[in-house]
Amino acid sequence: MTPVQDTPPTNPLRDPQDRRLPRIAGPCGLVLFGVTGDLSRKKLMPAVYDLANRGLLPPGFSLVGFARRDWAHQDFAQVVHDAVKQHARTPFREETWKQLAEGFRFVSGSFDDDDAFERLRRTVGDLDEARGTSGNHAFYLSIPPGAFPTVIGKLKEHGLAQPAGASWRRVVIEKPFGHDLASARQLNAVVSDVFSPESVFRIDHYLGKETVQNILAFRFANAMFEPVWNSNYVDHVQITMAEDIGIGGRAAYYDGIGAARDVIQNHLLQLMALIAMEDPASFDARSLRLEKQKVLAAVRVADRLDLASARGQYSAGWQGGEKVIGYLDEPDISRPSRTETYAALRLDIENRRWAGVPFYLRTGKRLGRRVTEVAVSFKRAPHLPFAATATEDLGHNAVVMRIQPDEGVTLRFGAKVPGTAMELRDVNMDFAYGGAFVESSPEAYERLILDVLLGDPPLFPRHEEVELSWQILDPVMSWWAEHGRPDHYPAGSWGPDSAEQMLARDGRTWRRP
């Protein structure tokens, strides 16, 4: 069979440094472990199709599924087809589908099945010949964390992890990256024994969101904000990831993990690092990583965690006009479970820029609404030459970056109410992505998968960041484990009273998004 053309025609006028032009992956393939899971069906397979539909994958791209199902290649193709039809962001095009589907293969087997990995090795070799993938393959481990060492060991044992010549082999690992510092270090040791650091991509899908990346543009491209982005002007920062859903069918994963390990250790600490970091020398992976690591290394957890942390568990209540059950009544949750579904922390960054500015992080399930945002609240003006009654409704100036669902940025400031009296009130100036740009934002997994295939790692945390994050969270988890059970909060509320008291002790209140 004649190999498929593996690279698109080159443009002699194209500047490889011009990021305005689309970046197109070279010859390569993706091996997907865990193709039967929700993540693969709802996010990964549709993202691969959307990339192909946008012309960002090479014509000979291949997708290999690995699972225990007794499927033929055409059965796997049907699974991908159904996932794409239901969840893809871009329109379904028959010509795109036909070209993509020619590169689909399926290997049946378990994670410890040597025969299956030998079949996978042969399949990858056949694709190099038939599809022109040139020995370039990424292995995406969309599997339970406990299976990482087994799969990575088998990839090494069967020669799948070692590239030949100028080709590359990469591994993609989904969070969680361990459940504490010791397990994270153990996992990093297993991975680094097989893959070089630049070949390991730890996926945090939040870092692939356009609005998260816009934090960097907002801070470093606009001269009006950076001069006040420090403790001289900022009063405090609130970072919120709230969900209005319960755990659904994730009891097996979630119980014992909890909100802090699931969200704070990765998503929220990464957001905090982007908000607080110094300007990097450039936007290459190394420069970004170094600045984020400096922030995480400077984070201090309060000595009195009873005053600087809060945790809760949702109980029965009303959500969206429906009566919903509490966490302990969810299927497959043990009655004495102490797993928190709400977590809040006060963290301080001990460096010149942020000394004295508290960062409040919170996340929870069954809260008032679904929202992820970063709110930077500024200090009040040192002198207000107005009557006290004129400013009684005036709060703090704020910059609110909305990550989801209504992506954009809001500026809150004081303005005069129309009329003869001097009365001031807070008003909002709003920027919405949907209203400012015609092109819709790609899904986070589109960006991240493409970055893996390109070997471009700026948005992926390295093991140093992962370990620093666990160093921050481990003392909190240990303290919670020794001090009773989480407080209860009714579904549909904004969390337990202890979280409100945590800010009240500092003379502040949580935002109501």
Q: Is the pLDDT of residue 230 over 90?
A: yes
pLDDT per residue over 122-165, tens digit each?
Answer: 999 999 999 999 999 999 999 988 899 999 999 999 999 999 88
The active-site residue, picked from 137, 158, 236, 267, is: 267
Cα separations in angstroms, 432 against 162, 213, 267, 371, 437: 46, 15, 22, 15, 9
Q: pLDDT for 254-296, tens place per residue? A: 898 999 999 999 999 999 999 999 999 888 888 889 999 999 9
Identify whether the C-beta of residue 356 lies closer than 8 Å to the C-beta of residue 206. Answer: no
Percent of the chain with pLDDT over 70: 92
- H or E stretch including 168? none
402: pLDDT strictly greater than 80: yes
Kindly report the average pLDDT of the chain as a whole number. Answer: 89
Higher-confidence position of 209 and 240: 240
Question: What CA–CA distance (Å, rounded) separates 56 from 452?
Answer: 13
**Cα Rg of the chain (Å, integer):** 25
DSSP 174-185: ESP--SSHHHHH
pLDDT tens across 271-282, in order?
Answer: 999 999 999 988
Catalytic annotation present for 267: yes
Question: pLDDT at position 260, please?
Answer: 96
Q: Which residue has the tokens 């370039």?
A: 136
pLDDT band for position 21 (50/70/90)? Answer: low
pLDDT in the model for residue 510? 97
Residue 437 has pLDDT above 70, yes or no: no
pLDDT of residue 384: 67
- d(CA 63, CA 73) in angstroms, rounded, equals 11
Burial class (CB in 10 A: 0-12, 13-18, 19+), 411: middle
Average pLDDT over residues 455-472: 88
Bridge pairing between strands 29-33 and 62-67: parallel
Q: Is domain 207-440+461-504 given the CATH code 3.30.70.100 in the classification?
A: no
Return all residues near 80 (Cβ < 8 A) that are at least 6 apart. Answer: 45, 49, 63, 65, 101, 104
**Percent of the chain at pLDDT above 90?**
67
Mean pLDDT of all residues in 176-204: 91
| CB-based contact 25:170 (threshold 8 Å) | no
- For residue 477, the 8-state DSSP code is H
The pLDDT confidence band at residue 415, using thresholds 50, 70 and 90, is confident
Please give the Cα distance from 79 to 94 (Å, whole number). Answer: 16
Which of 200-209, 272-281, 318-327, 366-375 has the lowest average pLDDT?
Answer: 200-209
- Encode pLDDT of 302-326 as tens digits: 989 999 999 999 999 999 889 999 9
Q: Looking at residue 209, what is its pLDDT?
A: 74
What is the per-residue pLDDT for 392? 57
What are the Cα distances from residue 185, in Å, to 8, 181, 286, 420?
41, 6, 21, 65
Domains in the chain: boundaries = 29-174, 207-440+461-504
End-to-end CA distance of the chain: 58
Query: What mean pLDDT is predicted for residues 70-98?
Result: 93
In 3D space, the residue among 420, 419, 355, 424 whose CA is nearest the CA of residue 387 turns out to be 424
Q: Are 508 and 236 in contact (CB under 8 A)?
A: yes
pLDDT tens column, 480-490: 999 989 999 99
Least confident of 97-101, 266-270, 331-335, 470-474: 331-335
The CATH class, in words, for 29-174 is: alpha beta
Predicted local confidence at residue 439, as pLDDT: 64
- pLDDT value of residue 13: 35
Amino acid symbol at 20: R
- Asked, as a colleague might, if the bond just before 405 is cis with ω within 30 of 0, I would say yes
pTM passes above 0.85: yes
What are 9's two structure tokens? 């025609």
Specify the pLDDT at position 370.
Answer: 95
Residues 164, 125 contacting (CB under 8 angstroms): no
